[in-house]
Amino acid sequence: MLNAINEEIVHVNGHPRKLVVFLHGYIDNADYLEHTILPMISNIDNAAVHLPQAPISCEILDDKRQWYSMHRFDPDDARKTVPTMEECVQIYDHMAQGLEGARFYLDEYIDASLNEYQLEDKDLYLCGFSQGAMLALYTALMRENKIGGCISFSGIMASHSFLMKHHRSAPDILLMHGNKDNLVRFEALEFTRHNLEQIGCRVFTYVVDGGQHRITPDELEQAERFINGNGNFRKKIAV
């Protein structure tokens, strides 16, 4: 099957009552992501943690991967340099076709993984970094049934015009972003929060002071609490 996911890294902790699917970023791969998030993986209780590998070779570096082409929709990388957030959002809005194509094969992978552990959508937590965060948000909102939660590391609600009209569910979502991010601008956090709340999601946010375009240890701690359902989470996280 074209663009089927057939590579993955899997960690199983205890008897899985949750499935955590974590999507790597653009010009990235599952191996590098695993190295980055290992501290979090070991602290998620009774869960299967899956790191699927995007099936498409990256258009920039052949040994890296991408969930969909960025250059197809933004050939000059203008999203990083346009002066206003409005112009940036317009560029991300053009990516609907890429996101929908990726969701098609990701949903098949998710369904098969849930069936493997005899779990349901309510037991699913979708996480992602950068392009992986965009796909995680898109997929979470387009699932027929509400999932347990979604976590975005340095992402944005891409194709928001389509999602505002056609979303199918509104799960709890944790958005985390560094305020010095030079690749996905920090304003994406507030933009995404506002739009997610408009469609009924309960949204939590966490800002990494001085954080750039990377996953930080404190973000991993917040993600652990969100997935584990720690009662202190909602008291400490910024909303």
Write 59-64 long-range contacts (CB < 8 A, 24+).
60/27, 61/27, 63/29, 64/27, 64/28, 64/29
Give yes or no for residue 167 having a pLDDT over 70. Answer: yes
In this structure, what token pair is assigned to residue 59? 């258009």
Confidence category of residue 233, pLDDT binned at 50, 70, 90 = low
What is the rounded end-to-end Cα distance, in angstroms, of the chain? 42
Q: Which residue has the tokens 């258009």?
A: 59
The widest CA-to-CA distance across the chain, in whole angstroms, is 49
- Which amino acid would we find at residue 213? H
* Phi/psi at 189 (5° precision): -60, -50
* Range 176-192 average pLDDT: 97
Higher pLDDT, 210 or 239: 210
In this structure, what token pair is assigned to residue 20? 């955590």
* Range 140-169 average pLDDT: 97
User: How many percent of the chain have pLDDT more than 70?
Assistant: 95
Output the CA angle 208-212-217, nearest 5 degrees.
Answer: 50
Confidence category of residue 239, pLDDT binned at 50, 70, 90 = very low
Confidence category of residue 237, pLDDT binned at 50, 70, 90 = low
Rounded Cα distance between 162 and 10, Å, is 32
Three-state secondary structure along 95-110? CHHHHHHHHHHHHHHH
In this structure, what token pair is assigned to residue 113? 């993984």
User: How many percent of the chain have pLDDT more than 90?
Assistant: 93
| pLDDT score of 229 | 87
Measure Cα distances from 182 to 91, 114, 154, 160, 212 in Å. Answer: 16, 36, 10, 21, 7
* Range 149-162 average pLDDT: 97
Task: Report whether 131 contacts 67 (CB < 8 A).
Answer: yes
Mean pLDDT of the chain: 94
Considering the four listed CATH numbers 3.40.50.1100, 3.40.50.1820, 3.40.50.11540, 1.10.4160.10, the one that applies to the domain covering 8-236 is 3.40.50.1820
Rounded Cα distance between 110 and 104, Å, is 10
Task: Report whether 175 contacts 223 (CB < 8 A).
Answer: no
In this structure, what token pair is assigned to residue 86? 């409005």
- Residue-wise pLDDT for 88-132, tens only, equals 999 999 999 999 999 999 999 999 999 999 999 999 999 999 999
Three-state secondary structure along 200-212? CCCEEEEEECCCC
Q: DSSP label at 238?
A: B
Q: What are the extents of the domains in the chain?
A: 8-236
Task: Report whether 134 contacts 158 (CB < 8 A).
Answer: yes
- Residue-wise pLDDT for 196-232, tens only, equals 999 999 999 999 999 999 999 999 999 999 999 865 5
Task: Report whether 224 contacts 127 (CB < 8 A).
Answer: no
* Range 164-174 average pLDDT: 97
Output the CA angle 211-68-19, nearest 5 degrees.
Answer: 70
- Residue-wise pLDDT for 32-65, tens only, equals 999 999 999 999 989 999 999 999 999 999 999 9
* Full-model pTM: 0.95
